[in-house]
Amino acid sequence: MDQQAATPAYANNAAVPPAAEPLTTGTAAALAGGLMCLLSMSSVQFGSAFSAPAIAAYGPFGTTWLRLIWAAVLLAIVVRPPILRYSKAQWQTAGLLGASMAGMTLCFFAAIERIPLGLAVAIDFLGPLAVATFAFGLGWRLIWPLIAGAGVLLLAHDGNGWIGDPTGILFAFGAATGWGLYIILMKKAGNAFEGLQGLSMSLIVAAIVATPFGLLEVSRVTVEGVVAVAGLALLVPLIPYALEMIALRRMSTSSFGILMSLEPAIGALAGFVVLSQPMTTLQVAGTVLVVAASAGATATGR
């Protein structure tokens, strides 16, 4: 990142150093970033699939709340952000990103409680797809959301009828909105903070925002559950968010976007392997359309 571009965020905060310079985007760095993206996507989707027992036991809101608390505490111990030294602008950035994280995660886990993981991830990915499409103008690029929408429709039909309930689909669209905002705000947080400090602060805010929702299901939470969710918190959201932030310093945003377009396919695979959620030929075709639309929107927006 350009040093001068980071200066305004620290104008009133001399105690906090400017954000680190991004790494070069050479071949080795790009390969490392690509590997981080694949690890991030796999962690998110298989972590979500492995969360099914916890969601059934403690509810989607209770499970999400515990995840965010664990993620915030663990990263704060490692990063040790100087909370009292941040400027008002930095707090605002962390607050907005944290709120979008909380909303995205709460909605996503509420969705996968009600609809298949592959369908939930496909709908969820419409958020970043919309960001990529509208960022580069409308016109003929509107074909990509239309193709993705067709893919989602195929995923929502198992050959005999429509799957999932309306509430689950609404939650998935809520997660998509949160993910779109997350992408925009993560960029700002990366510019405003050094290293993983912005992520640490945002996770703290996300845990606070999720608290009222988590308290609705706190009666279902046990001591064993609190400990068990600690491992799940590493898979989602701590490790993926950290990997994505680091990966973006090693590769171009277009390459990053193309790789992330594999997430719906990985979600469908995780649902099949872990949750035994079978896919028909139409649903496989739907997954291919969503992946193709996401890759196409990113590639044509370079």
Would you say residue 254 lies in a domain? yes
Do the domain assignments include residue 284?
yes
Those residues of the chain that have pLDDT short of 50 are 1-25
What is residue 29's predicted lDDT score, i.e. its pLDDT?
75
Range of 37's domain?
Answer: 25-300
- Please give the pLDDT value at position 149: 82
* pLDDT of the residue at 140: 77
Task: Give Cα 220 distance to the centre of its chain.
Answer: 26
pLDDT of residue 247: 80
Residue 155 inside a domain? The answer is: yes
Give residue 283's pLDDT.
84
pLDDT given at position 244? 84
Instruction: Return the pLDDT at 182.
Output: 87
Per cent of the chain over pLDDT 70 is 86
Angstrom distance (rounded) from CA 175 to CA 237:
14
List for the chain the helix, strand, coil content (%; round to 5): 80, 0, 20
Question: Do the domain assignments include residue 13?
Answer: no
Residue 257 pLDDT: 67
pLDDT at 292: 86
Determine the pLDDT at residue 146.
82
In a domain, 17, yes or no: no
Residue 78 placed within a domain? yes
Residue 10 maps to a domain: no
Q: How far is it, in rounded angstroms, from Cα 245 to Cα 76?
A: 16
Query: Residue 173 falls within a domain, yes or no?
Result: yes
Nearest CA to 247 among 79, 41, 18?
41
